Structure 1
Amino acid sequence: MLVIVLLFLGFYAGYPGLFPSSRGRVAAHRQSTITTAYRARKSNVQVSGEGIVSRVLPDDRQGIHHQKFILTLPSGQTLLVAHNIDLAPRIPHLKKGDRISFIGEYEWNPRGGVLHWTHKDPHGRHASGRLRRGEHIFQ
């Protein structure tokens, strides 16, 4: 019996996201990476997490086109998302209250930061990012 318990604990430690009780800790760790980068005024930090859309902004149509919106993270911090819609599909019908998970690159600014690189790098030199709403991935 002890062997089974030890094997389970080893499996659990290796795969913390599989069990519901650990999901909150994993999400909190992801968000703490953003909070740490913000407090340290760091940029070029690969991050992941999720938030709620608090405001949908007009698309940036000058130069490279971006779909822009503001996420409020569980910590209360806000994050401007600049999603390159020349390289990735836009999120259709995005609205306040939508839950978005993300992988991308964080850039510091005094208002909470900017998330970009939420797409695949067409040249394969940068870590790929993505946005997810429900079961749909935008990359």
Structure 2
Amino acid sequence: MANKTNLSIGAVIILLIAAYFGIDLQENQLQTSTPSVAVEPSTQTSQPQNQVLDGTAKIAQAFQNRKSNIQVQSQGRVVAVLKDDNDGSRHQKFIVELPNAMTVLVAHNIDLAPRIERLQKGDTVGFNGEYEYSEKGGVIHWTHHDPQQRHEGGWLKHQGKTYQ
């Protein structure tokens, strides 16, 4: 039993390492100064599998090393939709489970980008944002454009729409 567990853990680690070293996520993206929702031609919200694995590996490594301020791109399944945070800048909050079973909180600034309407538990959400370490798994924020264009713009993808 322990041997099967060790093999499974080893396989996951090898997969994450391969994804981390074999894939380049950085793509030049146009930053806009206004919030937008773009409808993509495809209604699929899934991203290419290699991008998801690379982003998931970056998040796992950042969590393990307690690192923050890491730009990541991945996707996850919504496991909880939380109440909006209305203190200061307003944020739509929800928790996603990543492909490696890790969970992260997504804090999406709805003063700078449109909120995802009709977000439900079980939905798949793609994201590009900044990872911040926390003991509970971490937070993804900066999932919106930067009106001052000092920070890489982020986004959320849900049911064929991009929120930035």
Fold shared, TM-score > 0.5 on shorter chain: yes
The answer to whether 1:73 aligns with 2:103 is: no
Q: 1:1-139 to 2 correspondence within 5 Å?
A: 23-139=48-164
Structure 2, unaligned runs of 5 or more? 1-21, 25-47
TM-score normalised according to structure 2 size: 0.70
Q: Which runs of 4+ in 1 moved over 2 A?
A: 23-27
- SS for the counterpart of 2:88 is coil
Could you say what the CA RMSD is over the residues aligned between the two structures, in angstroms? 1.7
Q: Residues of 2 paired with 1:50 and 1:119: CA distance?
A: 16
**Counterpart contact for 2:51–2:74, Cα < 8 Å:** no
TM-score normalised according to structure 1 size: 0.82
Structure 1, unaligned runs of 5 or more? 1-12, 16-22
Alignment: residue pair count: 120
Which structure is higher in RCO with an 8 Å CA cutoff and minimum separation 6? Answer: 2
The 1:94/1:40 distance shift into structure 2, 3 A limit, reads same
- Letter aligned with residue 146 of structure 2: D
Identity of aligned residues (%): 49
Question: Could you say which structure has the larger radius of gyration?
Answer: 1
> What's the offset of the Cα at 1:27?
2.3
